[in-house]
Structures are given as structure tokens and as C-alpha cells.
Amino acid sequence: MSNSFLYTFVPLVSIIFYLLFRRHLSKPPIPSTCRSPRVLPQTDPIFGLHHFWKTLKLRQQHRSLETLVDWHTTYGHTFKVISLGTRVFHTAHPDNVNAVFGTKWRDWITGRFEAMNPFCGRGFVDTDGEEWRAHRALLAPTLNEASAINLESLNVAFDEYLANIPVDETTVDLAPIFEELFLDLSLQFLFGRKLSTLRSADSHVDMRVFQNAFDTAQFWMGIRLAFGIIGRTFPTRKFKQSCQIVHSFVDYYVGLALREMSNEVLNNQEHNMTDKIQTKASLIQSLGVQGRNPIEIRSEIIQGMLVTQDTTGIVLSNTIFLLSRTPVIWERLRKEVATLGPYKEWNAPALKNLKLLHNILKESLRLHPLFASNSRVAAIDTILPTGGGPNGSAPIYVPAGSKVSVSYYTLHRQKSVFGEDVEIFNPDRWNHISPDSWEFLPFSHGPRSCAGRHKALGEASYIIARMASEFARIESRDDRAWTEDVKLVVRNFHGCKVSLYAT
């Protein structure tokens, strides 16, 4: 080893250790009441590379959710692991969930911005603090409960996508049908235009090209989120190209909506109609009314599409998957729906009063939450109220920069809350259980809970009720168990293969 190398290397190492030591001294002392949680055994406890690759492999094997349940069973409701050099606290305890998403939510950030920004800009998904509050407020006019459910649009969508499917012994996979149906409704909500209109429009970016680019950009964004700084250094040519296609497509319709609104203003002025244009049902128009610029509108639309394009369709797939295996419950549901009379006379309040229907949806979301987990990064040194020490009851000290990952999938399987038969589809359990807001989180909870939960539940309720009124039986045509496919949301890897029979 040359002297020149030693002269360079030794001072550099000394400086690094000195800075780390200074950082250690500058930290406040750990409260004496805090204790460390149990630690998941790792072959690489420093960088956690082996654990990271193991979690990726478990996803490929469709076993990540059940493995996490097993880890919680073995190591407690809260345990610690190192993954890609980051300290991660996994928890499935309601008190800790409350601390992260509720009472102490200002101590936490999403940590998503750097990974998501090139694709979807600044919006209600990837920002934090007061900036996030401002973005969230922009959605309020189009997401309040009174205006979120459009039964007329749902009726048209049902007739278009479900009325003509085979009603004999033919096997039908409903999963892609539901996803197409709710992609259509999502685009109407976001753009104010139907899927068929967008596919036949003369935009310089074809709708199918846009969909492929959106999926590709979302995949690479997932890589950037999963791998952190390392992920953001991966080759990005495909990612950048896909982002440009998505941006170009959305920009076209943003410009079109703004021109239409401008023409409406001029038309009102010509006819001496001085009333202000009312907030529109579509998000793109609502944001225009609120004076947002085109780049801001584009960002909110893309982030809106991220959280709406698959969600309700997957809820329906999971629910029908479960109902197709429980014919007695399907028959009871048909009788309940029949009390509403002809579907053309239905209204949103009447649908909300169908107790069995809503128990079915809650049980489906309990067993198969759309988002199996959620995480936050500690913005400051903070504390989780429980999970430390030998019996897991002491507070846990969480240094700034650590991640806390909450497993909704595990949380929804607490036998002390939901009963011993937690793996069984039993809607009737909801007649005698009352989990609190931090024990059952189908749409998360706290300030950043899902803003579209009323819309999603209302739309899912209508489609299931219409199916119950139209089809005498739904029989499963797939004897495989529900199998996780974890991406941004979780779906059944095998879809929803059934046969339907007319009344």
C-alpha cells in the first residue's frame, strides 16, 4: 500500500468517524422508558441487502403478505429490521398506527416525493405538511359525499360492460371487465370524458399508447420507491420517455378543458349571464375553476389516476370472488336488494341502508385490503407508544430517517378483534364486532385517509346490488385460493373466474 494512499485514506476515515461521533453526541438522550423491539434475524444486519432481496423474492412467489403475518406472529406486533441500510419498524398495533397516521402525524412524512416527482409532479399523493393540505383541499369540491356517486353513470356503465356477459355455464373472468369499467368511470371523473371517447379522439397521443406509457412509468416509479437513492440512479431512458408520453396526453386534455371553460365564460358574457361558472363534476374542470395552472392540473390528474384506476374494480373482483364461493350469502343478498324495488328507482341513501351488502364489502376489505401496507418516514426523532422490551409493551425510540411500515393485512387478522375465524369470509361477524378506527383501516385513517372512500364504496355497492338483481347465481370456476399480486395495490393473481346465471 503506497504512502500517498495512506495519507489520503486515513484522514478521510478519521473525518468520517469524527462526524459520526459528533452526530451521536448531538442527539438527545433516548428516554429511559423506551426499549428496543425484537429484531428479525438477518444475515446482513448492517445494510440489509439479503433481507431486501428476500422480500422481492417473496413477492415473486406471491407469499409476502402471509410471510409478514408469520413474522408478526413470531416476533410480536412490532419488530425491527434493516433494509437497504434503512432502519424499518414493522408494526400491526393500533396504538402505533394511531401515532403514525393520527395523533402524531406531523412527525412523519411519506418520503415519496423524490421518487414520484418526475412522473407526477407535486400533488396530494407525494407532498407533505402544509403543501399537502393545500393539494388535498383542491379535491374537496369533487369528492364530497353528496356529489361523488352518480347513479346514472353507474347504470350506463353496468349496461355497457356487464349486461351482455354470458349467463350460462361459460367461464368469465370478471377481473378485467371490472377494471375496464372503473377505468372508464375514473376517466370520466378525472377528464370528464368516457374511455370510448378518449380512444377515438384525435389527440396526437393514442389512448392505448398512453395506457402503456402510464403502466411503464408506474413500474419504474415503483422501482425508485423500493430502491430509494439506488433506484433513482438506475438507467432512466424508458422512464423518461414514458413520462413524456403521459405528460403530453394529459396536457392535451388539460388545454382542451381550459379552452372549453374559456368559451363558456365568453358565451355567458354575451348573454349577460354574470353568474360564476359552478365547480364541475370532473376534476380537470374543477381545478380549472379554482385557477390552477396547466402544470398543477396535470400533476393532480396523474396522481388522481394513480389512486383511482384500479381500486374499485379490484374491490369488486375480490368481493365477487368471495361471494361466488358462498351461494347462501348470495341468495340472502338478492333478497335484501329486492326490497329496493326496480333498479331505476334506486337512490344512494337506500343503497347505504342495505346492511348485509355493506357487511359483505367490509368483510371483503378486511380479508383483502387494497393497500396491504402503508409506511411513513420519521421527520424527527420520535416515539412509538408500544412494542419495545421483552413483553412488547414499552415505548420504542424511533430516530429521524427511520421508516415505520404498517401492515393492514396483518392488522385485519387480529383474533382479539375479529374472532378466531379470521381467515374465513363471514360478513355476519360485523353484526357483533365493533373495531375502532385504528383496528380496521380499509381506506387508512387520520388526516391522509382516502378522500374518495365514499365514492368507492358507493360505486361498489351499486354494481354488486345490480348484479344481485340481475343474476340468480354466481358460481366459482376456479378452485385455487386467493393469491396475492402485490403492486401499488393488491389484487388476486388468478383474477375472478365465474359463471353467471340469469334470473
Mean of pLDDT values over 329-333: 98
pLDDT digits (tens, 9 = 90+) for 46-67: 888 899 999 999 999 999 999 9
Amino acid 144: pLDDT: 66
Q: How confident is the model at residue 22 (pLDDT cuts 50, 70, 90)?
A: low
Choice among 32-36, 138-142, 255-259, 458-462 with the minimum mean pLDDT: 138-142
Mean of pLDDT values over 306-334: 95
Global confidence as pTM: 0.90
Q: How confident is the model at residue 12 (pLDDT cuts 50, 70, 90)?
A: low
Distance, CA of 120 to CA of 247 (rounded, Å): 8
Q: How confident is the model at residue 275 (pLDDT cuts 50, 70, 90)?
A: very low
Whole-number mean pLDDT of the chain? Answer: 89
Secondary structure of 70-130 in the HEC alphabet? HHHHHHCCEEEEEECCEEEEEECCHHHHHHHHHHCHHHEECCCHHHHHHHHCCCCCCCCHH
| CB contact at 8 A, 281 and 147 | yes
Please say if the pLDDT value at position 482 is more than 90: yes
Please say if the pLDDT value at position 146 is more than 90: no
* CA 460 from centroid of its chain's CA atoms: 16
Please say if the pLDDT value at position 273 is more than 50: no
Amino acid 276: pLDDT: 47
The per-residue DSSP string of 203-258 comes to: -SS-HHHHHHHHHHHHHHHHHHHHHHHHHTTS--HHHHHHHHHHHHHHHHHHHHHH
Q: For the chain, give every domain's residue range.
A: 31-121+371-411
DSSP state of 444: B
Q: How confident is the model at residue 353 (pLDDT cuts 50, 70, 90)?
A: very high
Amino acid 234: pLDDT: 78
Amino acid 33: pLDDT: 93
Mean of pLDDT values over 381-395: 96
CA dihedral 411, 415, 421, 425 (to 10 degrees): -30
Please say if the pLDDT value at position 497 is more than 80: yes
Mean of pLDDT values over 468-472: 96
| CB contact at 8 A, 148 and 348 | no
Please say if the pLDDT value at position 403 is more than 90: yes
Choice among 26-40, 250-264, 459-473 with the minimum mean pLDDT: 26-40
Say which amino acid occupies 38.
R
Please say if the pLDDT value at position 145 is more than 60: no
Amino acid 279: pLDDT: 46
Please say if the pLDDT value at position 168 is more than 70: yes
Amino acid 139: pLDDT: 86
| CB contact at 8 A, 42 and 51 | yes
For 483, the 3-state DSSP assignment is coil
Please say if the pLDDT value at position 5 is more than 50: no
Q: How confident is the model at residue 97 (pLDDT cuts 50, 70, 90)?
A: very high
For 405, the 3-state DSSP assignment is strand
More confident residue, 452 or 235: 452
Amino acid 476: pLDDT: 97
Q: How confident is the model at residue 30 (pLDDT cuts 50, 70, 90)?
A: confident
Distances (CA, A) of 228 to 45, 59, 375, 400: 18, 18, 14, 16
Strands 108-109 and 382-388 come out as unpaired
Amino acid 230: pLDDT: 79
Please say if the pLDDT value at position 187 is more than 70: yes
Most confident of 19-23, 309-313, 382-386: 382-386
Q: How confident is the model at residue 15 (pLDDT cuts 50, 70, 90)?
A: low
Amino acid 375: pLDDT: 95
Mean of pLDDT values over 435-457: 92
Please say if the pLDDT value at position 119 is more than 60: yes
Q: How confident is the model at residue 274 (pLDDT cuts 50, 70, 90)?
A: very low
